[in-house]
Structures are given as C-alpha cells and as structure tokens.
Amino acid sequence: MTTHVLFRGPQSRNDNWRTLFADALPGVTWYHWPNIEDKSAIELMIVWKLPRDYQQDYPNLKVIFSVGAGVDQLDLASVPEHIQVVRMLDPGIVKGMSEFIAMHVLNIHRDTFSYINANKTCTWQPIPTMENKQRRIGVFGLGHLGQAAAKTVLELGFSVNGWSRSPKKMEQVNCFSGEAELPTFLAQTDILVCLVPLTPDTRGILNIHTLSQLPKGASIINVGRGEQLVPDDLLTLLNQQYLAYAVLDVFDIEPLPETHPLWQHSNVVVTPHIAAITQDNSAGQVLVNNVQRYIDRQPLAGLVDRKLGY
C-alpha cells in the first residue's frame, strides 16, 4: 500500500529528499507543495510552516513532521489531536548548535568581543584570562540540544550547570529543575545559554527579573526563541554594565529590523538564526527512518507531547 508524503519547502531540499526517499522507500509517493494531484491521499506532511486551511484540504493527514528542532511555529493548539506532531532529531542540527555555543562561550570567555571593540580605537590593552574551570556555563534547557551543548562545553574544561523543567541527571553537570531552583541556577551562571523550548511559561522569561539574578558581569547566548527575550530589559542591563555581552541568534521579528538598537550596541552580537541549520543529508535519513516506522506502525522518534509543547 502506497504512503503519500507532502513536502513544503525549497526546491533544492525537495530534490535531495525526493531522491533519498525514492531509493530507500520506493513504496512512498512524494509530492512537492503546491503540486498535489489528490490532497485527500496525503497522510504525512513535512514542513516548517503549515499551508493555510490544511485541515480542510488534507482530510486524511496523520502526521506532521517539522523540519526544525522546534515546533512552536506550527501553533500546536490549532493542530487536531488525531494528528501526530514530530520534531526533527537531526544529528546535523545537534552538531551545529553545539559548535555555535562552544564558539561563543569561548569568544566571551577569552574577551574576543572586547578586543574587537578595542580595535576600533586602536587600544592595546591585554585582559587577564580566567581559567576555564572557574567560568560557570549555565545551560538553560537540558533537552536533546541542551545536553549535547553541555557535553561540548564540559570537554572544553568549563564548569557546567543545567536547568530543566523536570529533574534530570547528567554526569559532571550540576543539575537544577523547576521554578523553585531557577534563582539558584541563575546565581551560579556566568554565561547563560538559553535552549528552553518556547511555551507559554517561557515566553518573555529572559526579562529584567531573571537576568538580574545572574552575577554582575555575566553574559547570555540566546539560541532558543526570540519571543523568550525582552530586548528592552536586556539593553537596560547592558547599558548599566550589569551584563557584559549578549549573543543573539533568534528574534521575535525576523529579520531583525534595521532600526532596532540591538544592531548598534557594541556589546551585542547579532546572527541571522543560523546557530543550527537542518542538514539535508542527515535530516533526510532521519525522515526516511521515521516514515519507515510509520509504515511499520512503530512509535515515531521525536513525537511531541502536546501537554508540554515539545
């Protein structure tokens, strides 16, 4: 029996994944949105964002596969309960995210941004270097990506703390959990790495109340979601020199408007949502494996818990 799959995304990725599926799962019929012969035949949809009126147009849809590690862009509240939602567990995303975080933890730790600013005024001023083990990295969110990032910075010799919604254990990581332990976690964090999923509880969580619980001179790296950060609060703490640096890869509005003050702040690094990019080959293989699991009626890897939102 043929399984009908619809992909909504760029042509280059479509061509790559269509070939991969044709070789691995010849029983799958592949469609590239919006070119669909029979919308009622579609069982599986692979998307970043859903087509308008998808519930009416695709009455037999069973599973939505996100091409990214997050699913908040899909508006889970609007997805019917009978449709499963699956997040992408691409090892390429994990590797890219860990590399990005490690790079900027080292940049902050070794004062790279201070030296870049000093270049502008031809200032020759060495800055004392702290030992790695004395620098406390706080991974805010110990999910799939957070645990990989924690392991990567551990290998660089840093002291690592982690916070998660529910209790978790990681070797060599000081783990905190729940709202009650968040202040203790923040107070022991010199570089905060935000990787919590976007939920109603985490929207706006990087605000003046939480950020001011970090030690004076701390920095933040936000690779979670832009909606989790209150930019004005961050700018206030940077301008007061309470916080040292901010590396921001995600924003509430993307692209970040040219007039936004974050662009011009000397202690802020803006990157255009590139910390972790879905890699076509590795992600395609993940999708092939998951579609095979669907065909075999096995549990899907990366299935989203609707109650948690991730």
- In this structure, are 98 and 10 located in the same domain? no
The pLDDT assigned to 64 comes to 98
Are the CB atoms for 250 and 222 separated by under 8 Å?
Answer: yes
CA 136 to CA 309: how far, in whole Å? 29
- In this structure, are 154 and 246 located in the same domain? yes
Is this prediction's pTM over 0.95? no
Per-residue pLDDT tens for 193-231?
Answer: 999 999 999 999 999 999 999 999 999 999 999 999 999
Helix and strand numbers (H, E) in the chain are 9, 12
Phi-psi region of 212 (alpha: psi -120 to 50; beta: other; left: phi over 0): alpha
- In this structure, are 126 and 253 located in the same domain? yes
Confidence of residue 1 (pLDDT cuts 50, 70, 90): confident
Average pLDDT over residues 67-82: 94
- In this structure, are 116 and 186 located in the same domain? yes
Per-residue pLDDT tens for 162-177?
Answer: 999 999 999 999 999 9
Mean pLDDT in the chain?
A: 97
The pLDDT assigned to 139 comes to 99
Reply yes or no on whether the pLDDT at 267 is more than 80: yes
- In this structure, are 64 and 116 located in the same domain? no
- In this structure, are 38 and 78 located in the same domain? yes
Reply yes or no on whether the pLDDT at 280 is more than 90: yes
Reply yes or no on whether the pLDDT at 7 is more than 90: yes
The pLDDT assigned to 149 comes to 98
Nearest CA among 276, 170, 301, 278 for reference residue 225? 276
The pLDDT assigned to 275 comes to 98
- In this structure, are 76 and 209 located in the same domain? no
Residue 32 maps to which CATH number?
3.40.50.720
- In this structure, are 24 and 96 located in the same domain? no
Reply yes or no on whether the pLDDT at 294 is more than 80: yes
Average pLDDT over residues 227-254: 98
Tell me, yes or no, whether 85 lies in a domain.
Answer: yes
Beta bridge partners of 217: none
- In this structure, are 44 and 190 located in the same domain? no
CA 60 to CA 135: how far, in whole Å? 53
Give the residue carrying structure tokens 């070797």.
171
Tell me, yes or no, whether 21 lies in a domain.
Answer: yes
Tell me, yes or no, whether 288 lies in a domain.
Answer: yes
- In this structure, are 37 and 111 located in the same domain? no
- Dihedral pair phi/psi, residue 230, rounded to 5°: -100, 100
Q: Provide the annotated active-site residues.
A: 225, 273
Percent of the chain with pLDDT over 70: 100
- In this structure, are 159 and 104 located in the same domain? yes
Reply yes or no on whether the pLDDT at 39 is more than 80: yes
Number of domains making up the chain: 2
Confidence of residue 117 (pLDDT cuts 50, 70, 90): very high
- In this structure, are 140 and 260 located in the same domain? yes
- What's the domain range around 177? 91-270
Tell me, yes or no, whether 105 lies in a domain.
Answer: yes
Reply yes or no on whether the pLDDT at 83 is more than 90: yes
Tell me, yes or no, whether 303 lies in a domain.
Answer: no
CA 150 to CA 161: how far, in whole Å? 8
Reply yes or no on whether the pLDDT at 283 is more than 80: yes
